[in-house]
Every structure is written in structure tokens, then in C-alpha cells.
């Protein structure tokens, strides 16, 4: 898999302490992207499944976030990785510029989704940027409970009432 970076101990890429895998390649080219270096699929370095798992499993206290770039560009490989992460008992969040509704019909994407607990979907939109939002950069993005959404065959948002930070003293 092409990986830009693996960041340990993040507190902004999902609930709790997380290890974040930033995958290379992104077709969305969002204006204001925090990681434009990841747009090129040739960026970063090739990492084996075992190398990535070793980096993730080294810290038992952290959960895992798949980010990018766009993790769904490498869906077949990332799906196998995500399945192994789930087997190790870790919670998985994933960031994508695609909308959940566009991922579900694709068998490869659906298979990857089945290992993801929480999906933050939608392109980052500079005109909807809101720094008070938790775990997302713009108000158009959604934080989706994937398991419940797949069971109910309807989008179920994750803790919608806890998605803003209060800056009041």
C-alpha cells in the first residue's frame, strides 16, 4: 500500500487516542486540503501489510483512523488491513471525500465499509469550514455510524449532538 505517514497518539482524528494511517492518492483535490501532498498516488512509500500492522499494534492503547489522501483508492488492500485491525479488537474511523451513498453500491468499497466503525464522509469545503466542529473540517461532512447504517439500510449519524466544541468560558 502507498502510505504518506503513520501518526501516533492523535486526538483530533476520531474519539480517543488514535494511530492514523495517511494513505497516498486522492481524486478530490479539495481547496484548503490539510494534506495536498497526498493527492499524488506515487507519493509516500510502499508499505507491506506487516509493516503497517506492526506500527499500529505497537501501541495497545490507541484505536485506528484511516485517512489520506483517500483510503478508498486502495480499497482492496485497505480492506484486508482493516479486517486484521478489527480482529485485533481495535475501533476504526475512516475519512473519505466520497459520500457514503456512493460507496455502498461498489462491492469493494462495501467490503471495506464492513470493517469500519465510523465514517467521516464528504469533501472538505472551504466555504463551509468550521473550526468548532469535532472530527471534521467543514459543516457539509457527516460523521456516520457505519454498522448501524448498514443494518438499518439508512444513514445513521454518530453522536450528532456532540459534534461541536464550545469556546465559551
CATH number at residue 135: 3.20.20.70
Q: What is the mean pLDDT of each run of 10 residues along the chain (169 residues)?
A: 95 94 90 82 94 89 94 97 96 97 97 98 95 93 96 89 41
Considering the entire predicted model, what is its pTM? 0.91
Looking at residue 36, its pLDDT comes to 82
Distance CA 70, CA 86 (A): 20
Domain count for the chain: 1
Looking at residue 38, its pLDDT comes to 82
Distance from the Cα of residue 111 to its chain's centroid: 15
- From residue 96, give the alpha-carbon distance in Å to each of 4, 74, 88: 16, 12, 23
Looking at residue 78, its pLDDT comes to 98
Containing domain of residue 31, as a range? 2-162
Looking at residue 60, its pLDDT comes to 80
Nearest to 59 by CA among 4, 13, 18: 18
Looking at residue 160, its pLDDT comes to 55
- Asked whether residue 117 is domain-assigned, the answer is yes
Amino acid at each position: 500500500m502507498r502510505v504518506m505517514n503513520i501518526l501516533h497518539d492523535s486526538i483530533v482524528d476520531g474519539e480517543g487516542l488514535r494511530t492514523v494511517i495517511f494513505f497516498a492518492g486522492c481524486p478530490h483535490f479539495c481547496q484548503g486540503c490539510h494534506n495536498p501532498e497526498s493527492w499524488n498516488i506515487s507519493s509516500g512509500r510502499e508499505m507491506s501489510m506487516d509493516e503497517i500492522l506492526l506500527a499500529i499494534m505497537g501501541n495497545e492503547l490507541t484505536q485506528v483512523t484511516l485517512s489520506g489522501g483517500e483510503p478508498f483508492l486502495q480499497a482492496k488492500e485497505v480492506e484486508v488491513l482493516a479486517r486484521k485491525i478489527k480482529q485485533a479488537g481495535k475501533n476504526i474511523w475512516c475519512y473519505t471525500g466520497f459520500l457514503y451513498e456512493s460507496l455502498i453500491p461498489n462491492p469493494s468499497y462495501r467490503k471495506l465499509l464492513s470493517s469500519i466503525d465510523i465514517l467521516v464522509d464528504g469533501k472538505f469545503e472551504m466555504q463551509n469550514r468550521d473550526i468548532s466542529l469535532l472530527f471534521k473540517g467543514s459543516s457539509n461532512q457527516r460523521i456516520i455510524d457505519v454498522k448501524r447504517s448498514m443494518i438499518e439500510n439508512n444513514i445513521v449519524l454518530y453522536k450528532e449532538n456532540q459534534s461541536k466544541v464550545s469556546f465559551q468560558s
